[in-house]
């Protein structure tokens, strides 16, 4: 028989237990308040927090033999609630947008939505990032320094030591995870770039995808970049096919998805606040924008980058964005003066800059669309909106810029003359552009250097914070020193939540930053963030109480040869006046501080490699190495990081297919897209292999006879014959076979070392998603017959 307790018969022991439970509950609550009132952690503090997220209450009803004799208690079954008044949070991250790009910060690109947001909130002018995307995003979402969480560089550049595993440890839970467990709905849209490269498969592991890191829904892309007109997308834990509707652009899609998800969440009427993380692809390459936005900037940059830098700094001073005594740093020696360029160079460089400007303007318009919806829904007042960027403007377009990044990455960039020949296509689906370094330097005005560097041009970014219900000093500027690691403490303080010491059973490392809430009401408050180290791809820097020491590192050289510079940044905002020769003792102390911080944060060993990590023979791979790889129709795309590496290696691809009566055309297997790749398909009933070499040349190997009805094996064999003078290009011979019999052959097919590893598409069976590999068809060109499977053998 069930043992029950009548609600009218409570023993003295039960009463004592309840009394003790109440006492310890009060003690725990008091400790929570004491720890929270003590304020968030500073960068150098190591306070041991013992506060856990709220737990569901114990059952306080009573159990009888039947429900008539029992007393229900619904509290334990109810979802956890956020603290009363906790705000909605919208965190927007732009990509590769520099300090001097937007009109909100004195830049030449019109961003009225950001301007309006800044007028409704605060602009921080002393806010810093890590200088690269994955590390910045990891620091932003976890509140820890990037080497602490294994993100020395982008996830694809993982190395086998703790500061660079390329995988965020569970001891650094994201703010999304903490908010979710405290009554928030959490949603993410856009760029992720925080999953280990070994997890880019349809089978995961998914624990570092967004849904494994605290977000309840996700719509966006896993890697560092994607084609904005034809993106490789993920929804929750699934790869999905590229949208094909006319006029599609990813920025518009992401914002529309965010709006729909927020409306869904609000109309559900649960009373829960939401955390929406919107990480746009804008303005990372490829620079893609609607033509009307690009046309807005025609001739707007004809004065050239030297003059634009001067104009931007003048506006920044007039707006109070920078101190009036700020000096414009010299143009980097690698950048030529605008006045010495040829007419062709100026024309090409300007069109690429106009495209960048149009893309950012377009992103701003869509951010405005989201903000307008929040206002229309009546929830804007208690919605905390934060907008920032992940690093400074990018140097990756080099001297001239490009319109095909796959050519650039394969060390075969276009000439200015080539780009001049298709100016009107730049920014459209036919191009994959990056702009030149001279214009990115202008985007970092008034600072030196770029993304990937630890000078201020790489590490200083806009930060706009708007929270109408709380921030009353609207339109003001804040100059307190701040960093990405300060955002998580800020969000937790806004939500009235302590930083948990344990999440999902895993003890948590302390937060590295401190909340910016103190600066919301007090412009004169001293900075809470006192010390911050920087290291990126071998370059180093350290900030301490208004001073900065920085050393730029040339890849492949000894770190002992690096020259340290010293700046009193409290009075020299732009790092224009090097004091290293005048104050050697101060510089020595700063270098010693950097070394101390580096040891504490897992920075060592220093590593200046970029893509060379991929050739490490001991490096883990996403999928097992096999003699035969088998793929099936109707399945997800195989990401480039998870498929067998075929380029430059002998390999054999065989499609097992059935031809119905009549004919059946379509793609049997495709890898890559318009800017490089290869495809095996049937057209007009005949088997065809097309190899697209970086959109420079398309090699076709085609059978002369139509395939007869019935089952067939269509095979293509690639045999490398030589490496060319370019280390990233190979030539080879291709043989096409049907049922084991040769039907066509072509020699001297050029093959790159990589296609679309960052931007584009992997391997698909039965269709070509994204952009077409071959000019002979339009996507998706699905196969009309039946494909049993496709087998790939490497080394044959």
Which H, E and C letters describe 425-462, residue by residue? HCCCCCCECECCHHHHHHHCCCCCCCCCCCCHHHHECC
Is residue 256 included in any domain, yes or no? yes
Does 296 lie in the same domain as 163?
A: yes
| Structural domain ending residue among the three candidates 613, 647, 665 | 613
For residue 25, the SS3 value is: helix
| Structural domain ending residue among the three candidates 457, 475, 492 | 492
Residues of the chain with pLDDT under 50: 1-50
Cis previous bond, 446, omega within 30: yes
Q: Which pair of tokens denotes residue 18? A: 């309840």
Query: What's the confidence (pLDDT) of residue 728?
Result: 67
Q: Which domain holds residue 696?
A: 623-794
Does 718 lie in the same domain as 576?
A: no
Does 487 lie in the same domain as 609?
A: no
SS3 string, 113-124, reads: HHHHHHHCCEEE
Query: What's the confidence (pLDDT) of residue 713?
Result: 98
> Distance between CA atoms of 346 and 337, rounded to whole angstroms?
11
Q: How far is CA 453 from the centre of its chain?
A: 18
> Distance between CA atoms of 287 and 404, rounded to whole angstroms?
10
> Distance between CA atoms of 745 and 734, rounded to whole angstroms?
6
Query: What's the confidence (pLDDT) of residue 77?
Result: 87
Is residue 21 included in any domain, yes or no? no
Q: Which pair of tokens denotes residue 787? A: 């494909």
In contact, 377 and 369? CB cutoff 8 Å: no
Residue 752's closest CA among 781, 767, 776, 773? 773
Give me the sheet containing 463-466, strands edge to edge.
238-240, 233-235, 217-221, 185-191, 274-279, 88-94, 383-389, 463-466, 122-124, 476-478
Is residue 130 included in any domain, yes or no? yes
Query: What's the confidence (pLDDT) of residue 756?
Result: 61
Does 645 lie in the same domain as 609?
A: no
Does 707 lie in the same domain as 751?
A: yes
Is residue 535 included in any domain, yes or no? no
CA distances (Å), origin 522, targets 124, 281, 653, 686: 13, 34, 66, 74
Q: What is the pLDDT of residues 385-424, one digit of tens each?
A: 999 999 999 999 999 999 998 888 888 889 999 999 999 9
Sign of the C-alpha dihedral computed for residues 388, 391, 392 and 396 taken in this order: negative
> Distance between CA atoms of 173 and 154, rounded to whole angstroms?
19
List, in sequence order, every beta strand (DSSP E) within 632-705. 651-659, 666-673, 676-683, 686-693, 697-702
Query: What's the confidence (pLDDT) of residue 20?
Result: 39
| Structural domain ending residue among the three candidates 431, 466, 492 | 492
Give the CATH number for residue 571: 3.30.1120.10
Give me the sheet containing 697-702, strands edge to edge.
697-702, 686-693, 676-683, 666-673, 763-765
Sign of the C-alpha dihedral computed for residues 743, 748, 753 and 754 taken in this order: negative
Residue 136's closest CA among 496, 606, 487? 487
CA distances (Å), origin 623, targets 155, 197, 202, 634: 16, 10, 11, 20
Residue 746 burial (CB < 10 Å; 0-12/13-18/19+)?
Answer: middle
Provide the 8-state DSSP code for 777: S
In contact, 92 and 278? CB cutoff 8 Å: yes
Is residue 134 included in any domain, yes or no? yes
For residue 533, the SS3 value is: strand
Query: What's the confidence (pLDDT) of residue 723?
Result: 66
For residue 171, the SS3 value is: coil
Number of domains comprising the chain: 3
Is residue 157 included in any domain, yes or no? yes
Does 345 lie in the same domain as 202?
A: yes
Q: How far is CA 315 from the centre of its chain?
A: 30
In contact, 429 and 342? CB cutoff 8 Å: no
Residue 671's closest CA among 689, 649, 685? 689
Compute φ and ψ for 474, nearest 5 degrees: -75, 145
Does 569 lie in the same domain as 421?
A: no
Does 721 lie in the same domain as 593?
A: no
Is residue 76 included in any domain, yes or no? no
What residues does 698 pair with on adjacent strands?
A: 692
Does 607 lie in the same domain as 642?
A: no
In contact, 306 and 445? CB cutoff 8 Å: no
Q: Which residues contact 246 (CB under 8 A, 6 or more apart)?
A: none
Give the CATH number for residue 627: 2.60.120.200
Residue 222's closest CA among 234, 213, 214? 234
Query: What's the confidence (pLDDT) of residue 618?
Result: 79
Is residue 388 included in any domain, yes or no? yes
Does 647 lie in the same domain as 583?
A: no
Does 658 lie in the same domain as 585?
A: no
Q: What is the pLDDT of residues 230-250, one digit of tens each?
A: 999 999 999 999 998 899 999
Give the CATH number for residue 97: 3.40.720.10
Q: Which residues of 104-142 are buried (b: 16+ CB within 10 A; e: fewer)?
A: bbbbbbbbebbbbbbebbbbbbbbbbbbbbbbbbbbbbb
With the CA atoms of 393, 395, 398 and 400 taken in that order, what torsion angle do they form, in degrees rounded to the nearest 10? 10
Does 609 lie in the same domain as 685?
A: no
């Amino acid at each position: 028989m069930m043992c029950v307790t009548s609600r009218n018969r409570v023993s003295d022991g039960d009463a004592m237990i309840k009394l003790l439970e109440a006492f310890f509950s009060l003690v725990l609550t008091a400790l929570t308040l004491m720890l929270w009132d003590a304020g968030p952690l500073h960068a150098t503090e190591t306070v041991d927090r013992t506060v856990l997220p709220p737990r569901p209450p114990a059952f306080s009803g009573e159990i009888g033999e039947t429900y008539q004799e029992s007393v229900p208690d619904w509290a334990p079954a109810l979802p956890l609630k956020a603290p009363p008044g906790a705000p909605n949070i919208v965190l927007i991250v732009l990509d590769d947008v520099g300090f001097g790009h937007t009109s909100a910060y004195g830049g030449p690109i019109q961003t009225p939505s950001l301007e309006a947001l800044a007028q409704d909130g605060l602009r921080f002018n002393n806010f810093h990032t890590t200088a690269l995307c994955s590390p910045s995003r990891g620091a932003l979402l976890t509140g820890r320094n990037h080497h602490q969480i294994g993100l020395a560089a982008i996830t694809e550049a993982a190395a086998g030591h703790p500061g660079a595993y390329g995988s965020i440890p569970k001891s650094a839970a994201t703010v999304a995870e903490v908010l979710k467990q405290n009554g928030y709905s959490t949603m993410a849209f856009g760029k992720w770039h925080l999953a280990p490269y070994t997890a880019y498969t349809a089978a995961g592991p998914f624990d570092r995808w967004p849904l494994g890191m605290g977000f309840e829904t996700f719509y966006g892309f896993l890697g560092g970049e994607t084609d904005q007109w034809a993106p490789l997308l993920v929804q929750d834990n699934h790869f999905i096919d590229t949208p094909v509707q006319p006029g599609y652009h990813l920025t518009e899609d992401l914002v529309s998805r965010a709006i729909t998800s927020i409306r869904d969440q609000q109309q559900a009427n649960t009373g829960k606040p939401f955390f929406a993380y919107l990480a746009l692809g804008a303005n990372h390459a490829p620079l893609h924008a609607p033509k009307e936005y690009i046309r807005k900037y025609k001739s707007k940059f004809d004065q050239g980058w030297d003059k634009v830098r001067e104009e931007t700094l003048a506006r920044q001073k007039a707006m109070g964005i920078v101190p009036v005594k700020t000096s414009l740093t010299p143009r980097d020696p690698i950048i030529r003066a605008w006045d010495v360029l040829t007419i062709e160079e100026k024309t090409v460089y300007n069109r690429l800059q106009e495209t960048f400007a149009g893309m950012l303007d377009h992103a701003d318009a869509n951010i405005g669309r989201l903000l307008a919806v929040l206002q229309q829904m009546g929830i804007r007042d208690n919605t905390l909106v934060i907008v920032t960027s992940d690093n400074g403007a990018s140097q990756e377009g080099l001297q001239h810029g490009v319109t095909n990044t796959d050519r650039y990455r394969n060390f075969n960039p276009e000439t200015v003359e080539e780009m001049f020949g298709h100016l009107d296509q730049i920014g459209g689906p036919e191009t994959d552009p990056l702009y030149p370094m001279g214009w990115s330097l202008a985007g970092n005005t008034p600072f030196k250097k770029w993304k990937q560097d630890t000078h201020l041009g790489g590490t200083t970014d806009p930060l706009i914070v708007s929270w109408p219900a709380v921030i009353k000093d609207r339109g003001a500027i804040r100059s307190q020193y701040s960093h990405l690691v300060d955002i998580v403490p800020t969000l937790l303080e806004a939500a009235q939540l302590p930083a948990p010491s344990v999440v999902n059973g895993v003890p948590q490392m302390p937060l590295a930053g401190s909340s910016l809430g103190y600066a919301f009401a007090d412009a004169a408050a001293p900075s809470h963030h006192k010390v911050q180290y920087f290291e990126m791809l071998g370059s180093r820097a350290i900030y301490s109480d208004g001073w900065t020491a920085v050393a730029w590192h040339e890849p492949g050289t000894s770190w002992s040869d690096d020259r340290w510079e010293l700046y009193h940044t409290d009075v020299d905002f732009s790092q224009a006046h090097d004091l290293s020769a005048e104050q050697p003792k101060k510089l020595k102390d700063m270098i010693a501080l950097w070394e101390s911080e580096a040891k504490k944060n897992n920075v060592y060993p220093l590593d200046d490699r970029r893509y060379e990590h991929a050739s490490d023979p001991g490096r883990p791979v996403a999928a097992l190495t096999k003699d035969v790889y088998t793929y099936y129709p109707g399945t997800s795309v195989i990401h480039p990081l998870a498929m067998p590496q075929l380029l430059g290696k002998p390999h054999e691809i065989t499609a097992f297919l059935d031809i119905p009566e009549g004919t059946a055309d379509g793609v049997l297997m495709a890898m890559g897209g318009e800017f490089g790749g290869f495809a095996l398909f049937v057209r007009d009933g005949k088997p065809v292999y097309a190899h697209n070499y970086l959109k420079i040349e398309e090699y076709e190997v085609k059978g002369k006879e139509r395939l007869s009805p019935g089952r067939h094996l269509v095979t293509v064999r690639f045999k490398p014959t030589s490496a060319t003078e370019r280390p990233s290009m190979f030539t080879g011979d291709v043989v096409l076979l049907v049922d084991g019999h040769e039907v066509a052959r072509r020699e001297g097919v050029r093959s790159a070392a990589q296609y679309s590893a960052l931007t584009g598409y992997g391997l698909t069976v039965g269709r070509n998603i994204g952009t077409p590999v071959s000019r002979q068809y339009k996507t998706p060109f699905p196969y009309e017959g039946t494909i049993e499977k496709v087998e790939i053998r490497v080394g044959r």
